[in-house]
Structure 1
Amino acid sequence: MEQLKVGQVTLTWLNGGVTHLDGGAMFGVVPKPLWSKKYPPNDNNQIELRTDPILVEAGGKRLLIESGIGNGKLTDKQKRNFGVTEESSLDESLAALRLTRDDIDVVIMTHLHFDHACGLTVWEDGRLVPAFPRAAIITSDVEWEEMRAPNIRSRNTYWKENWEPIADQVIPFTKETEVVSGIRLIHTGGHSAGHAIVLIESDREMAIHLGDLLGTHAHQNVLWVMAYDDYPMDSIFAKQRWLSYGIERNAWFTFYHDAYYRAVKWREDGAIAEQVKRNRPSL
């Protein structure tokens, strides 16, 4: 498992499963000859997208950013449509660190689409129960409201199976909240109305998790936004603000979906200055 130190904070990427989604949808109006040079598709025009939660150890607390694709939450048809070739092995990842799901204090959710939220609940004795029974689950109030009352478009990704068992654990926030000292969730909108980002600061070092505003390193161009974004102009404006903010401060940008990089630092000219690559298994 790859790790990154940001001051006194340790980030560890766990194995939350993998999807393969249409590359055209992931890059919106960007022509394939451009995006495919940066993130190659397979023969079905799909690109590999991890769903790997980040374990954050800070201030004596253990936090997760996102929850993975889960286990047994998708039908065979859904697995085929979403290109799921590997489900979550979060328990095994935590066990390798001598931890269990009971050791997680907080789960930070940038948003609650199924590929981020399926791991919030697990099957136990034929019913769905909280995957992290001791954890507070933090998400924006806008996101939480839509999760429970989705519209005609969003009901395809906001599923009751992912929220009903954990409703008592959810702590919604408005605009911004500090989860623990130095770790903030900030509402941005864009990808969804309630989408939020995570800002981590420790000992004058910084990491920014832009969630699905920056799905992969190949989405660095502020205009390269997903067709999945509900409010693409909000995504563009948020990327403009936070990419500039982070680059000026030599921040790490971390990823949940990227199959190649766990984190990167970019120079002002757009080149990668530092990187944490994902250890991809050899074929």
Structure 2
Amino acid sequence: MNARRRDVPSSPADVEAAAAAAGDLTALAAACTTCRACPRLVAWREASAADPPARYRGQTYWARPVPGFGDPHARVVIVGLAPAAHGANRTGRMFTGDRSGDFLFAALHRVGMASQATSTAADDGLTLHDVRVTAPVRCAPPANAPTPAERRTCGPWLAREVELVAPRVAVVLGGFGWQALLTTLAEQGWAVPRPRPAFAHGAEVTLRHTARPDALTLLGCYHVSQQNTFTGRLTPAMLDAVLRRAREVLLGAEGCPPPGGLAP
């Protein structure tokens, strides 16, 4: 590895300062992808790249934090959990290169939010329409389980991304993303009820900002992990229904057209 530069975020305070200083999504991605603030995650993402499964041997892994991906002016954000060790940690793009991504991008294509049904590499030509994909944790964690401290350290990247995108709808994949996003929104001045709304597939909560007339609707969806999709806990029809509901919410917000300009 190259010698660590002084501007590389290497502590929670560094992450907070770097995220706050990012004036746009390009700057945010540039800062995020250099982050080394969580030693366990840095070690794991690099070890995964150094010893990949046989099917990926010879490929050059991204092996860095993964920034959000999609339309910079998206009115819909999809919030997952973290990159997969041999998915986004390999390709450098959220949900790209693994079975979870296959399931998600096929659904986005079916409802008119993606230009194609597959996402295999960062340069495969995929574009997203009025939607952005992101996660509360930007490095692949061992056993897909970041620690509470790692979640807190990584939080400012998601917070700043939400500020810059200013979505109207958030489709949240799983309970971890749901709680992480509610924490971020409460810190940003959104009126999050107490007790917090519970995560459930199909859950819908509309929040209002305490200082602005903004509204943000959260839609809960089971995570697109193989554990859910292979067992039938989450089916294509169930995911499609949540994404179509996101479009309906947009249509109801001041007559906004749905993503991609498609009819509902």
User: By the TM > 0.5 criterion, same fold?
Assistant: no
TM-score (norm 2): 0.27
Q: What's the TM-score, normalizing by structure 1?
A: 0.26
